[in-house]
């Protein structure tokens, strides 16, 4: 089974989290699910470099990476993912979607109302338990 190493941005602004919804995907595990935006790490990139590049490609915004948050390993039907997530911030509240079908800013207590990709759900559950000073 193929293993993919990726990064994800937990972007926070005004005590709300940026949540993005995927479109159709050949993997039903992630098709139309919500996720924290990000993507694959390319050869020679650091996790942080990959994250900034992916967020610029997918959302056309700059982010400031504040800290590494949690690494998740999850096995989907067709592949395994190792996802490194980071707490980030941005001054841009209106991203331009290039890969997702929808985005919204949600307060922490609303995150579990979304249909999350399975690998992202542990991040949401951890966020729910913690307080932040942003």
What pLDDT, in 10s, does the model give residues 2-47? 999 999 999 999 999 999 999 997 777 888 999 999 999 999 999 9
Class of domain 2-123: alpha beta
Q: Where are the beta strands (DSSP E) in the chain?
A: 2-13, 16-21, 34-35, 38-40, 64-75, 79-89, 102-107
pLDDT of 134 above 70: no
Q: What pLDDT digit, counting tens, does each position of 35-94 carry?
A: 999 999 999 999 999 999 999 999 999 999 999 999 999 999 888 999 999 999 999 889
0.85 surpassed by pTM = yes
All structural domains of the chain with their residue ranges: 2-123
């Amino acid at each position: 089974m193929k293993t993919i190493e990726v990064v994800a941005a937990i972007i926070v602004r005004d005590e709300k989290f940026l949540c993005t919804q995927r479109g159709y995907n050949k993997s039903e595990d992630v098709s139309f699910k919500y996720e924290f935006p990000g993507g694959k790490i390319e050869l020679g990139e650091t996790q942080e470099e990959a994250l900034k590049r992916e967020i610029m490609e997918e959302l056309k915004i700059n982010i400031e990476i504040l800290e590494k948050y949690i690494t998740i390993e999850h096995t989907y039907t067709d592949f395994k993912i190792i996802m490194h997530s980071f707490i980030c911030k941005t001054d841009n509240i209106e991203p331009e979607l290039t890969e997702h079908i929808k985005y919204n800013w949600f307060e922490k207590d609303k995150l579990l109302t979304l249909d999350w990709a399975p690998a992202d759900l542990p991040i949401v559950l951890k966020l729910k338990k913690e307080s932040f000073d942003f």
